[in-house]
Amino acid sequence: MGEQGGKRAAKFQGPKGTRDFYPADMVRRRYIEQAWRTVSIRHGFEEIEGPTFEAADLYAVKSGEAILGELFQAFSGKSPEEVEQVRATGRAPYALRPEFTPTLARMYADRAASLPRPTKWFAIPIHYRAERPQRGRLREFLQWNADVIGDESPQADAEVIAVAVGLFTELGLSGRHITVRLSNRDLVSELLLENGVGEGNVGRALTLLDRRDRMAAEEFTRACGEIGLNAAALAERLGSIQSEMNSALAAMENGEAMPAIARRSPGIEQLKGLLAALDAQGILKWCEFDFSIVRGLAYYTGTVFEITAAGERAVAGGGRYDRLIESFGGPPTPAVGFGMGDVVLSLVLEEHGLMPEGERLAECLGTRPDAFVVSAGDESCDAAVAPLVAELRRAGLHARRSYKATKKIDKLLKDAAACWARFAVILDESWSAGRVQVKDLTDGTQHTIPRAQLAPWIAQRRAGLAV
């Protein structure tokens, strides 16, 4: 911009951390979205969607500082008061959504009285976070969310984990590639209280544990001192309970009954319930306990989990948020859910050669043309291409044509093969007698078909019926 007239226009680049989806990229995105949608529906979830921006206050307290620092802010610019507010406070009235759970909780709270229990919803929203892009992290991304609302039982926790596992299975991933790491905030909180932390400092302590690996040892020690936490004792207790729980998990995976657990507490009861429910879902082999996971978002309660793949960031993360809906003005409503981003998932699929391409991808997405019409004859054949394509489309077929000027059949067929068409319709000398050549590009056979029977012939043959 700012160039003199006559100079070439300035080129624009897409904003930092965003992606352009050309056709080859879009089909890969659709492949993932289709798997998300198919598996969600298979597990009995119903699709919802909300606004891409919300009142900034929606995120203010519930999400925690971590997300607040990454908010993309938005305002209409229509009123002087609004502009002045942004200028004075640096805070806009709206924010592009950085996550979906607050929107979901708001939507549920609005109609809670008329919604069934449990309500099972999924969404495939686009999200925005103003962080520095890097491997597996962009500023604009898709995130699949699946939530069970109104069911406090561990069966609900297991059900959302099961739909995530179902997705991995659908895409060809297994427990060799993927691990579901389970934890429980109530259990960790109990142990914090038993190891020196006062009632009012539990939240702070959880945040501290969440960052433990990322801070200097002496800094961690000092922070522990401030809240009275005996970190060594806590680590020892958590570690021994963790290995006990993992042994129980392994035993159950071998078909044995759940072993007795030494400790008795509300947190342990939740974990035992979860273990039984995961067993009922048949997905124990994907899971393990990892009590170092507490998660950064402030609204989590009880069960929390992260799903990881070797060498990558977390593919998905989630947990219980039993008080969030109430805090948005709804009735007290337990809920559990997770989010899975498209960026890391794509990397994992690529890494294992599980992202299909070419014909297989076109087949999965239903984008293969049924007929590809080419003219290899005189002007009358050229003129017949457009009406013939239109006729096939009216018959409900996916019909395309070549736009090349050449009459070379090899090049025209190459054109047809490039889009994975099932049949090539060749207009040549026989067109003057009302017939076309149809080549089945799958098996190489060629047939002479009267024009009037072309569409039904292709439709039947596509359906696998004998002609």
Partner RNA sequence: GCGAUCGUAGCUCAGUUGGUUAGAGCACCUGGUUGUGGUCCAGGGGGUCGGGGGUUCGAGUCCCCUCGAUCGCCCCA
Our CB check for RNA shows the closer of 135 and 394 to be 135
Our CB check for RNA shows the closer of 1 and 113 to be 1
- For residues 161 and 288, give the distance between their C-alpha atoms in angstroms, rounded to a whole number: 12
Q: How far is the CB of 371 from RNA (least distance, A)?
A: 13
Our CB check for RNA shows the closer of 177 and 295 to be 295
Q: How far is the CB of 265 from RNA (least distance, A)?
A: 26
Q: How far is the CB of 153 from RNA (least distance, A)?
A: 23
- For residues 231 and 221, give the distance between their C-alpha atoms in angstroms, rounded to a whole number: 8
Q: How far is the CB of 351 from RNA (least distance, A)?
A: 12
Residue 316 near residue 307, CB atoms below 8 Å: yes
First-to-last CA distance in the chain? Answer: 62
Residue 168 Cα distances to 165, 346, 353, 465, angstroms: 5, 12, 14, 34
Residue type, 133: P
Q: How far is the CB of 232 from RNA (least distance, A)?
A: 22
DSSP letter string over 407-434? --HHHHHHHHHHTT-SEEEEESGGGGGT
How many Cα atoms occupy the beta-carbon half-sphere of 132 within 13 Å? 0
Our CB check for RNA shows the closer of 14 and 80 to be 14
Our CB check for RNA shows the closer of 279 and 288 to be 288
Q: How far is the CB of 12 from RNA (least distance, A)?
A: 10
DSSP letter string over 284-335? GGGEEE-TT---S-TT-EEEEEEEEETTSSEEEEEEE-TTHHHHTTS----E
Our CB check for RNA shows the closer of 25 and 256 to be 25
Q: How far is the CB of 79 from RNA (least distance, A)?
A: 27
- Strand 301-309, strand 178-184: pairing: antiparallel
Going 79 to 84 to 85 to 90, the CA torsion angle's sign is positive
Our CB check for RNA shows the closer of 112 and 413 to be 413
